[in-house]
Structure formats: structure tokens, C-alpha cells
């Protein structure tokens, strides 16, 4: 079931189960693989797949000092690998409208099947 968020100045975000197999591979190493990812669709942005933490190789990621703020999702923290700083991000305490993505990680480089 798709959850449509309230419009804010014409901005509409949806979050729903992706129903697709999602993999993140960097230099031949699988960083994440999931059939339980969520897809977040936001105007002006590519689809973002949020992967449950149990499907992410957190042992291969290093927490970053980077933080960003999105007025629609909240504050994001980042993780890196040696050759890709800030490759992944997550919202520990997202806005209530996108609560489903809490602690799920999203990556810049995702394979979707």
C-alpha cells in the first residue's frame, strides 16, 4: 500500500514496499542485499531505496561525521567505505510522515532487479 504524504508547497513524497530485489555492490563487495526495501519517491529526485539494517553489511561501513537536514524527512547521518565517502545515509528519527524509513539505509549506487 502506498502512503502519500501531505502536500507542503506542492511537495509530495510517497513511501511503499519496493517489491523488487535491491543490491548494493562496491568494487565487487556486496554491501547490502534485500527483498524488503522501501522505495521513497520525491519530486525532482530519483527513486531512493531504503534497505532494512539487517540486510546491510554494517561491518563494512564506517560512520561519517556528515549530517544533513531535509525539511520533509528530517536529519540524516552518513556512512562511508574507504573509496566512497558518504555512500549511504539513514534517518534515525525521521519526520512522522516518513516514519517507515527509520534506520533503513539508502545508497547512491543501487542495483534494482
Q: pTM of whole model > 0.85? A: yes
pLDDT tens for residues 68-107?
A: 999 999 999 999 999 999 999 999 999 999 999 999 999 9
Secondary structure of residue 99 in the 3-state scheme: helix
Domain of residue 67, residue span: 3-112
4-62 pLDDT, tens per residue?
444 455 678 999 999 999 999 999 999 999 999 999 999 989 999 999 999 999 999 99
How many domains in the chain?
A: 1
From residue 31, give the alpha-carbon distance in Å to each of 27, 84, 96, 98.
10, 12, 28, 24
* CATH code of 40's domain: 2.170.150.40
Instruction: Give me the phi and psi of 66, to 5 degrees please.
Output: -70, 140
Q: Name the burial class of residue 106, with classes exposed (0-12), middle (13-18) and buried (19+) by CB atoms within 10 angstroms of its CB.
A: buried
Amino acid at each position: 500500500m502506498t502512503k502519500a504524504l501531505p502536500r507542503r508547497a506542492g511537495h509530495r513524497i510517497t513511501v511503499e514496499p519496493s517489491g523488487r530485489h535491491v543490491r548494493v555492490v562496491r568494487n565487487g563487495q556486496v554491501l547490502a542485499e534485500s527483498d524488503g526495501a522501501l522505495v521513497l519517491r520525491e519530486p525532482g529526485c530519483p527513486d531512493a531505496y531504503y534497505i532494512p539494517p539487517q540486510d546491510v553489511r554494517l561491518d563494512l561501513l564506517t560512520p561519517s561525521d556528515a549530517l544533513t537536514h531535509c525539511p520533509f524527512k528530517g536529519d540524516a547521518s552518513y556512512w562511508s567505505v574507504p573509496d566512497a565517502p558518504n555512500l549511504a545515509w539513514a534517518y534515525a528519527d525521521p519526520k512522522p510522515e516518513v516514519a517507515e524509513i527509520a534506520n533503513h539505509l539508502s545508497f547512491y549506487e543501487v542495483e534494482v532487479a
